[in-house]
Amino acid sequence: MKIIFFGTSGFAIPSLRMLAEHKHAPVAIITAPDKPKGRGKRLTFTPVKQFVIEKIDKPGLSIWQLEKLDAVAIEHIVTLQPNLGIIAAYGKIIPKELIDIFPHGLLNIHPSILPKYRGPSPIQTTIFNGDTETGVTIIQIDEQLDHGPIVAQRGYVIPTDITYPALHNALAELGAQLLIETLPKWMVGEITPTSQDDAKATYTKLLKKEDGEIDWSKSAEEIERMVRAYNPWPGSYTEVISEKLKVKSILKIKKVDVLKLNPVRNAVSNGVNQEQAPFPSPRIPGTFFKTTDGFPAVICGTDALKFLMVQPEGKKDMLGDAFAHGYMSL
């Protein structure tokens, strides 16, 4: 197999690693250009480029960082005479002119059970919606977004309270394993791809910074899922006023627990109903209060959230009780 691999983010790394381990290292890697990062705006390699430089030892392996997949780029790719393309979290639409040069097509590894959750944020959407199952799909791409026929699929049962990084890594590994199992059968024509049912298709959106602003009128359960889904990007945040510093700032919420506002029956207390925290009255969404163990919490549309880990603006992550003590008078 003469493979060209298209990938940019860390999701692609397990597939690259397994291809190399099974002696299917690509003849070329196509990834995004280096980008400035941090306060110093230092040019930073993509995760895929960094991995290839450090971990893949193949003489003559090319790394192409293309701004556009235009006619000039396609002409360069044609000179390698590839017979298969593999895409994992590349981040660009592949034009038909490029698709057509691969005799065995372009296979894309997508982190959902297509046609559910087409688009750029399937993993975040899976957690945000509270799904209990997901998986990976390998499709033969066409000109439409995540639309091509299905080559292989594998399901994954989602552990309770999973975060985006954990689910991302699990699906990246699952997709890599499925790819290695699928390739030999695909190359000899043992797999007939199956068309997706467009009537069942759902779509995800490109997440923006403003998507991370918390609406406290939502239920505590929904916001808790949002915190797990949107870490690290776009993050979940709210505006706070420091009673001690007398300034407004943005507080990033990193880890939370749901506090039930309904009375909880405690078998040890002779059947007397007891609440889990001294909730303020009236219970207005967005109201801060302190739990009995010293952590900040906020009233939500339904129930409340206890802040276990936060990041004040311009500061490092800290435990919620340390934040309540150092920044707020609750």
Tokens of 8: 């940019």
Nearest of 209, 230, 114 to residue 167 by alpha carbon: 230
103, burial (CB in 10 Å: exposed 0-12, middle 13-18, buried 19+): exposed
114 labeled part of a ligand binding site: yes
98 labeled part of a ligand binding site: no
Strands 84-88 and 106-110: parallel
211, burial (CB in 10 Å: exposed 0-12, middle 13-18, buried 19+): middle
Cis before residue 234, ω within 30 degrees of 0?
yes
Task: Tell me how long the chain is.
Answer: 330
* 3-state class (DSSP) for residue 35: strand
112 labeled part of a ligand binding site: yes
Question: What does the buried/exposed string (b/e) look like for 215-235 if buried means 16 or more CB atoms within 10 Å of the residue's CB?
Answer: ebebebeebbbbbbbbbeeeb
Amino acid letter for position 238: T
CA distance 310 to 209: 17
N- to C-terminal Cα separation, the chain: 64
CA distances from 216 to 154, 176, 290 (A): 36, 39, 17
Nearest of 222, 53, 218, 217 to residue 128 by alpha carbon: 222
165 labeled part of a ligand binding site: no
- Which residues are known binding-site members for (6S)-5,6,7,8-tetrahydrofolate? 112-115
- Which residues are known binding-site members? 112-115
